[in-house]
Amino acid sequence: MRAPPRITVQDAAGRDLSEPALTDADIRDYLTGWELFNRKHYWHAHEAWEAVWKRHPEPSRLFFEGIIQLAAACHLLTGAVRYRGTVGNFAKAEERLRLFGERGRFLGVDVHALLQHIRAALTELERVGAGGLRNVSPGLLPRVACTLTSARGTTSIPATTPSARAPRSR
């Protein structure tokens, strides 16, 4: 099976924000990141995506930065419970992912829907303020479906992933 044709997309600044060509290692780490994210293992998802981000110097790496910041925001909200860090990371994730949202999907993810989750989270965080952070509904955190097509075929990660223990740190 051949990979789908690569569509070239540029932002207003002229940066090429096309989907990058992913290696087998990239695909493995990227999809593992979504599985971990959906299991609420946000730190480990962050680590998986950071491995891909380090291998991609092109401007489309801004997408990886956005999902890494999203994972950091979710981690800070559920683990460390730090208001400024949570809000800051959600805001940075929104800024990065907005570059990819208009086309709908990027690397198998509905970025437009993801941005709606981020905006809802920022609105709720503003409403509750720093003192109400522990009262934020866990349902506010997104679960993300990812369907990635590559030369090896199509792999789908459902928005709900069965619970499992987090992997050991690398």
- Is residue 129 a part of any domain in this protein? yes
Helix (H/G/I), strand (E/B), else coil: 147:
strand
- In a domain, residue 69? The reply is yes
**Residue scoring higher pLDDT (84 or 103):** 84
Q: Do the domain assignments include residue 145?
A: yes
Arithmetic mean of pLDDT, 3-30: 79
Answer yes or no: is 12 within a domain.
no
Q: What are the angstrom distances between the C-alpha of 156 and each of 82, 119, 167?
A: 33, 25, 20
- Identify whether 89 is part of a domain: yes
> pLDDT digit string (tens) for 56-84?
988 889 999 999 999 999 999 987 678 99
> If you average pLDDT over every residue of the chain, what do you get?
86
In a domain, 116, yes or no: yes
Question: CA 101, 93, 55 angle in degrees (round to 5)?
Answer: 90
The confidence score (pLDDT) of residue 11 equals: 67
Q: How confident is the model at residue 151 (pLDDT cuts 50, 70, 90)?
A: confident
Domain count, the chain: 1
CATH code, 136: 1.10.3450.10
Q: Which of 6-10, 89-93, 127-131 has the highest mean pLDDT?
A: 89-93
Average pLDDT over residues 135-147: 86
What pLDDT, on the 0 to 100 scale, is given for residue 8? 59
User: Residue 104: pLDDT above 50?
Assistant: yes
Query: Is residue 47 in a domain?
Result: yes
Lowest-confidence range among 14-23, 37-46, 68-77, 87-96? 14-23
Query: Which candidate, 109, 137, 102, places its Cα nearest to that of 123?
Result: 137
Task: For 107-139, write each residue's pLDDT tens digit.
Answer: 999 999 999 999 999 999 999 998 888 888 878
Residue 65 lies in a domain: yes
Range of the domain at 92: 24-157
